[in-house]
Amino acid sequence: MTITVGDTIPAATLTKVTSDGPDQVSTADFFAGRTVALFAVPGAFTPTCSAKHLPGFVEKREELAARGVDEVACTSVNDAFVMGAWAKSAEAEGITMLADGNGDFAQAIGLTMDGSKFGMGTRSQRYTMLVEDGVVKQLHVEAPGEFKVSSAEYLLGEL
């Protein structure tokens, strides 16, 4: 079942990319007591994700903060080392990278996609989610192959 507005983020473990290396974090701890703009991409270093999605959130991070977002985070079904390398290459300062290496979080929220025809296996759908104290307040899931409602600009317009 797909997560919806009003639902609580389910229990899962993600790997947070830090300057000291990978750090396991529970979703309960990560989302507790604050407002997080979470965006998901099908894969690090993929064309739309690298050219538009991540750069948009890097560019709009301060505007999101001015509107009450405490943290901007990106998740993908990639390992923490790939997510760390992607953040470094994209100069994604201020964006928290959350690796969902096995896709457990994407499955728990019902937002997986089958990328096997591209050699990618099961991945996360592209979406943006606004989470307040662990509860989904906004959810914008893209149609396959599109990049409209999950952009930083769109989310800003909804705040």
- Tell me which of 17, 36, 40, 49 is the catalytic residue: 49
Task: With beta carbons less than 8 A apart as the criterion, state whether 121 and 97 touch.
Answer: no
Cα–Cα dist 139/121, whole Å: 24
74 in active site: no
Neighbours of 19 (CB within 10 A): 5
Cα–Cα dist 126/137, whole Å: 17
> Catalytic residue numbers?
49
